[in-house]
Amino acid sequence: MGRERAAAPSGGKAATAGGHSGAPGPGGHARAPAQGRLTARAIRVAYGDYLALDAVDITVPPGRITALVGPNGAGKSTLFHCLAGTLRPDAGHVILDGKDITRAPAHARTREGIARTFQQLAVFPSLTVEENVRIGAEQGATRDPHATDRALDLLELTPIRHARAAGLQTGTLRRVELARALAGGPRVLLLDEPAAGLDTREAGALARTLKALAADGMALLIVEHDLDLVVELADTAYAMSAGRITASGPAARVLADLQAAAS
């Protein structure tokens, strides 16, 4: 089956809903496994003389939404890649439920139960919605034969399951990408700018979805520039600047301090 990455189509509107494999949970979506604590300790990444990450610590606990905020160039994307397995740090450790996965590549972390979405939409335009979502089920940690159908239903994609991804609007493609991530039955979900390209209604639906997933026990990390969405969503926030964590704690307090410092 040919696989290619899509450029993000312009425009778009869609409602989002959440789901992942496992026993059904409240609200019609599946219940996450109990474990899923992702921890980074003393992460260091350098590019020559430039220190992109300097002794960074972060914990993404199960049943909570953790946010990573900061200006462009703060090191958020670099840390995200270290957690996802697309970048190996020069020093430090990434630990999932007590297991050191620092050297594990991205595909191995997917099998361990870590899923991610992308800032730039990453769907396969020549495939149908269903085929895109099935890839997540095949690559993930689930053994549920109904995982693809479950994810399609929960994100309200069943009516368009046979439609090609090419030509779908941005909001719909965001749902497809999220469904693909959830179809693998992850314990940890990493989201890179999940609200990018969404209108207010779509962003609100996304927030409800992510809150429901956390309520079912999933560990979620979001990297997001929309601070209003972060305040609405996150339990804990980490603020970054120049490759360091400069503040952490309850999201509302961290963001209020950031705004006060900027005024």
> What's the pLDDT score for residue 77?
95
Sorted by where each begins, the domain ranges of the chain are: 26-262
Q: What would the pLDDT profile of 173-223 be if each residue is shown by its tens digit?
A: 999 999 999 999 999 999 999 988 888 888 888 899 899 999 999 999 999
What would the two tokens of residue 142 be? 């689930």
Mean pLDDT of the chain: 87
What would the two tokens of residue 14 be? 């869609």
> What's the pLDDT score for residue 225?
86
- Assess contact for 182 and 154: CB atoms under 8 A: yes
> What's the pLDDT score for residue 24?
35
Helix (H, G, I), strand (E, B) or coil at 223: strand
Q: How many angstroms separate the CA atoms of 90 and 51, rounded? A: 10
> What's the pLDDT score for residue 7?
33
Q: How many angstroms separate the CA atoms of 62 and 39, rounded? A: 11
> What's the pLDDT score for residue 9?
31
> What's the pLDDT score for residue 198?
86
Q: How many angstroms separate the CA atoms of 135 and 112, rounded? A: 16
Helix (H, G, I), strand (E, B) or coil at 194: coil
CA angle 28, 159, 209 (to 5 degrees): 35
Q: How far is CA 259 from CA 4, 142, 183, 228, 255, in A?
A: 41, 41, 37, 12, 6
Share of the chain above pLDDT 70, in %: 87
Q: Is the pLDDT of residue 161 over 50?
A: yes
Task: Give the model's confidence band at 107: pLDDT under 50 very low, under 70 low, under 90 confident, else very high.
Answer: very high
Distance, CA of 160 to chain centre: 23
Look up the pTM and report it: 0.85
CATH superfamily of 26-262: P-loop containing nucleotide triphosphate hydrolases (3.40.50.300)
User: Would you give the DSSP letter of residue 27?
Assistant: G
> What's the pLDDT score for residue 42?
98
